[in-house]
Amino acid sequence: MRGSREDWLARAVPAETAVQLVTSGMRIFVHGAAATPTPLLEALVQRDVSGVSLYHLHTAGPAPFVAPEHRDRFRSVSFFAGAPVRNAIDAGIADWMPVFLSDIPALFTSGRIPLDVALLQLSPPDDHGCCTLGQKRRVKAGRER
């Protein structure tokens, strides 16, 4: 059955396979904070690509894409400079774009910053095949918990 756990597991691929879709020159949105897709980012820096721009709010955990050895391959553009990218911004190998949080979606929807790929961390699909960007909520007797 489409949307079942078995169907989802059969279609899941390793991070290394997922990032094969990324090619040189692409613009990528990276999910941030506690949902930073670390395995995808780690696999991405192993790819032989160049000129890739990564747009994100603050990321958590390692940020291998801002390592000095990747400066000609990846460009980090942060809308909120979290700890993993601050040194790279200070060194001039990453960018910080000051913008109101409420204005960020329009940068993408208007095409001012066109995107090719989004790297996201999602919940596993529920019984209906739907995923969320946050934690799955269970509802019992009409109350969320």
Task: Report whether pLDDT(4) > 90.
Answer: no
CA dihedral 16→22→27→29, nearest 10 degrees, is -30
Q: How many other CB atoms are found less than 10 A from the CB of residue 78? A: 26
pTM listed for this prediction: 0.84
Give the confidence band of 145 by pLDDT, cuts at 50, 70, 90: very low
C-alpha–C-alpha distance, residues 49 and 72, integer Å: 10
Tell me which of 7-16, 36-45, 60-69, 90-99 is least confident. 7-16
Q: What is the mean pLDDT of residues 37-57?
A: 96
Would you list the DSSP string of 38-72? Answer: HHHHHHHTTS---SEEEEES-B-S--GGGSGGGTT
The class level of CATH for 5-133 reads alpha beta
Residues 6+ apart with CB under 8 A from 71: 93
